[in-house]
Amino acid sequence: MTWHRRHVLSTDDWSRAEIDLVLDTTSAMVEVLGRPIRRTPVLRGRTVILFFAEASTRTRVSFELAAKALSADVTNITASGSSVEKGETLLDTVRTLTALGGDVIVMRHPASGAPYFVADRTDAAVINAGDGWHAHPTQGLLDAYTLRAALGDLSGRRIVIVGDITHSRVARSDIDALVPLGATVTLSGPPTLVPSAWRCGMTPRGTTYEPDLDRALDGADAVIALRLQTERQHAGLLPSIREYAHTWGLTEERVARMRPDAPVLHPGPMNEGVEIAASVAHGARSLIERQVTNGVAVRMALLYLLAGTPEQRE
């Protein structure tokens, strides 16, 4: 299988072979990160621009470390403190980033679809680091890698995703990455935070909705807890944070319903004591720190694969 994509905007149209290629390349990158000198020269002379129009710590730092581990030059642009604050349009920002000679633009934006707009208007490769409620493909791929490393082949495995599904780009990208690998996904969360069509049984291929979290967890192979954005309470979608923690929080008791040693994931940042109990987040089943480490390797794999795409810069 040869890589042919110019951009990574979403994984919703990826084949299993493409996902496998990225995950296998990620394995090689994990090994690179374990060496005494965690740096290879492969992207020497390339420039990666990190354009984050929305808050982020781990994703931005993860991309930065990934680019540096491949010897690329890295430049950071955030919305605050840049010309975006002075009213520059996204289109003008993109023209500037392209003119500055970026080979890869890694972008996060509050508007769903913004990376597509950018990808159509630049010679650079674009990686979506999260756009609105739409997609966060590198998170989906790193979760798939982390689960594959822990469980082996994912075919026939059942993964639970619990939380605010409606507003979660992580949930969508997790589904896009896990289902082609043969896993099934059980979605669980408050009915007010699950898309109405999904609640009525029209869920994406390979997924089901189970409104009772305990039943969703029974015999499951892994669980991914989503971050609860506490502002959802003010929008009237939640009675209270305590109520949410009581009904939807991952406690030791609840995770014990899964198969023995079934792992627990969380994309971070966590609200400990809300969607996940501290003892679970830091317990034996937790792969949360592993996700952070693997995130760097997945992003290295994508930066490497995109750098080789021939028509990238005519």
Question: Smaller CB distance to another protein: residue 28 or 100?
Answer: 28
Number of residues binding to another protein, judged by CB under 8 A: 28
Q: Which residue type does 72 have? A: A
x/- contact string, 27-56, with another protein (CB under 8 A)?
A: xxx-xx--xxx-xxxx--------------
Q: Which of these ranges, 19-27, 73-81, 116-124, 157-165, lies near another protein under the rule CB under 8 A? A: 19-27
Question: Under the criterion CB under 8 A, does residue 165 sit at the interface with another protein?
Answer: no
CB of 36 to another protein, least distance (A): 6
Of 24, 123, 214, 231, the residue at the interface with another protein (CB under 8 A) is 24
CB atoms within 10 A of CB 248: 23
Question: Residues 304, 306, 311, 314: is their CA dihedral positive or negative?
Answer: negative
CB 132 within 8 A of CB 112: yes
Describe the strand order of the beta sheet including 104-109 as a list of residue ranges.
73-78, 47-52, 104-109, 125-131
> CB–CB of 302/28 below 8 Å?
no
Q: Name the minimum Å distance from CB 30 to another protein.
A: 8
308 touches another protein (CB under 8 A): yes
The least CB distance from residue 241 to another protein, in Å, is: 44
DSSP-based three-state secondary structure for 244: helix
The yes or no reply on residue 16 touching another protein (CB under 8 A) is no
Q: By C-beta, is 31 or 261 nearer to another protein? A: 31
SS3 133: coil
Rank residues 286 and 294 by Cβ distance to another protein and give the closer one: 294
From the list 266, 255, 273, the residue with the least C-alpha distance to 295 is 266
Instruction: Tell whether residue 236 is a contact of another protein (CB under 8 A).
Output: no
- 148 is written with which tokens? 């594959």
The answer to whether the beta carbons of residues 114 and 86 sit under 8 Å apart is no
Binding interface with another protein (CB under 8 A): 1-4, 21, 24-25, 27-29, 31-32, 35-37, 39-42, 70, 301, 304-310
